[in-house]
Amino acid sequence: MATLTSSYLVFSITVLVLITCFFFSITVSRAQDVGGDAGGRRELVPAMFVFGDSLIDNGNNNNLPSFAKANYFPYGIDFVAGPTGRFSNGYTIVDEIANLLGLPLTPAYSEAAGSQIFHGVNYASAAAGILDASGGNFVGRIPFNQQIRNFESTLNQIGMVLGASEAVAESIKRCILFIGFGSNDYLNNYMMPNYNTRNQYNAEQFADLLVQQYTQQLTRLYNLGGRRFAVAGVGAIHCVPSILAQSVNSKCSLEVDNLFSPFNNKVKSMINNLNQKLPDARFIYIDVYRMFVDLLRNPTPYGFSVINRGCCGIGRNSGQISCLPLQTPCANRDQYVFWDAFHPTAAVNIILARNAFSGNTNVVFPMNLQQLATIDL
């Protein structure tokens, strides 16, 4: 895979023009060098706002008192800016989606300033969950509820410039809101021995609890003006190197798979319910699980040859201890499905993003991201 770049062309236009473009959603061509094929591509939406966990965190945990950080080498070894806080060797899924939408790479909330916010902000935080308590073993993290409050802060900044809440709402409804949660509510809550959650809820009950909270949170984003939502399901957690390392035969865990399945199924139903309940809302579900399982079952057509261990890690399956500072990763990273004990490589992230962007209803429904970006509301 060719090295992807994320350098931005500095526009010689005033902030006022940027705001005007944002407000009226003018899709003008810009000669931006944001990597891949995006140079000169028309912007399909004015902005993308990102909420999630370590799969899409791009630096929000860097300055937190947290054990969940990736702002050190070899993370970012294939990213033009080096280690930024991305839990990947290069692109995350939302980096490639921004590229496909014709947008600059979305800045982390902790770093976004000035006119950057008019193309979107990334609020994702490693170890974050739907539940505020999830991820507590990592100490610092920004749960979904706080990410929503940070989004409100961004909207207030935009409102100070636009001067009217109606103007902000009109602008935000044209933007994509990308949301991906759930993994940490299981891996770093339900499955942890120091949490009492598993004694309180069985798998179905816990999934119900999560989806009830998730529904309320997504409705809050709708009430803040969001209308175009892309919700990513939980991937094949039962086959990550950390789980494989716990098996004598390095096999995927059916028990973990059965634990997560109710959540994904209920999120799909939630998407249908929200589309029916909320006027003018368009929610789509990205079936990351299905795409990931296909990669693991048929790796060769995608160019992968190593599916059962991380490119960077220690111990059995390179998954008992995740990627350490200054550790030497594998050389053939494009052939690995997993980068570390939990996260996919940039090569996988790009495939997932492209399927979400232009795939059929087998992997993203009721429409894909490209259709979501261009549909009239």
Active-site residue, from 6, 54, 66, 110: 54
Cβ distance 100 to 353 under 8 Å? yes
340 closest CA partner among 351, 355, 329: 329
Q: Is 6 in the active site?
A: no
Active-site residue, from 57, 78, 95, 340: 340
49, 123, 165, 195 from 162: Cα distances, Å: 18, 22, 8, 45
100 closest CA partner among 353, 295, 309, 348: 353
User: How many CB atoms are closer than 10 A to CB 367?
Assistant: 15
Burial class of 352 by CB neighbour count within 10 A (0 to 12, 13 to 18, 19+): buried
226 closest CA partner among 172, 146, 148: 172
- For 49, the enclosing helix (H) or strand (E) is strand 48-52
DSSP three-state, residue 228: strand
CA-to-CA distance for 152 and 275, rounded, in angstroms? 23
Q: Is 340 in the active site?
A: yes
- For 283, the enclosing helix (H) or strand (E) is strand 282-286
Q: Is 119 in the active site?
A: no
> Going by C-beta distance under 8 Å and a sequence separation of 6 or more, which residues neighbour residue 370?
44, 100, 357, 358
Active-site residue, from 66, 171, 318, 343: 343
Instruction: Report long-range pairs for 197-203 (Cβ below 8 Å, ≥24 apart).
Output: 203/258, 203/259, 203/262
- State CA 1 to chain mean position distance: 21
Nearest-5° Cα angle at 102, 96 to 104? 70
Specify which residues 232 forms β-bridges with: 180, 286
122, 130, 140, 153, 189 from 67: Cα distances, Å: 20, 19, 7, 26, 16
- For 284, the enclosing helix (H) or strand (E) is strand 282-286
Q: Which residues are catalytic?
A: 54, 340, 343
